[in-house]
Each structure stands twice: as structure tokens, then as C-alpha cells.
Amino acid sequence: MATRKVRVGQKFYYRPNLFDIVKGPGTLKQGDHVQVVNLYGCPPANTMGMCYVKRVDVDEKFAGMVCTNSLSETAD
């Protein structure tokens, strides 16, 4: 299965895959609106199919690292 490529600044809805359900950030819930960010001193987005995200609508705070396949463009 190919991993999704994301760019810093893109906004998505969080829909966790199995890996993120088991090991993902506990602060995010399915359907949360998130934005991809890069952190200083950390690997850039898309490294090993992972990226860092922050919440957009709630508090603009860092939420954690998620699989890029857990990000969806639609709110379904």
C-alpha cells in the first residue's frame, strides 16, 4: 500500500488507521481538523510515512506524530 504524500501547511481530517489507533497520539479523536507542521530538529513530513500535526479548530496546539495515511481531505 502506497503512503500518502503531504505538504507542510496542508489541512486534513484525522481518520486513524490501525497503527494510529494502537500507538497514535491520545489527544486526537477521529474527525479532528489538523494541519501538517515541521518541527525544528525533527525529521520532515513524509519520513517513513509519518508527519507531525497540530489541531486547527480547537486550540492550535501541537497534537503529535501520525501516519500520513490517517489523514483525509474529507470529513466523512
pLDDT at residue 74 greater than cutoff 90: no
C-alpha cell at 64: 503529535
C-alpha cell at 21: 489507533
Model pTM score? 0.90
pLDDT at residue 1 greater than cutoff 60: no
Average pLDDT in the 39-60 region?
91
Average pLDDT in the 12-39 region?
92
Q: What percent of the chain has pLDDT over 90?
A: 75
DSSP code for 8: T
Distance CA 44, CA 7 (A): 10
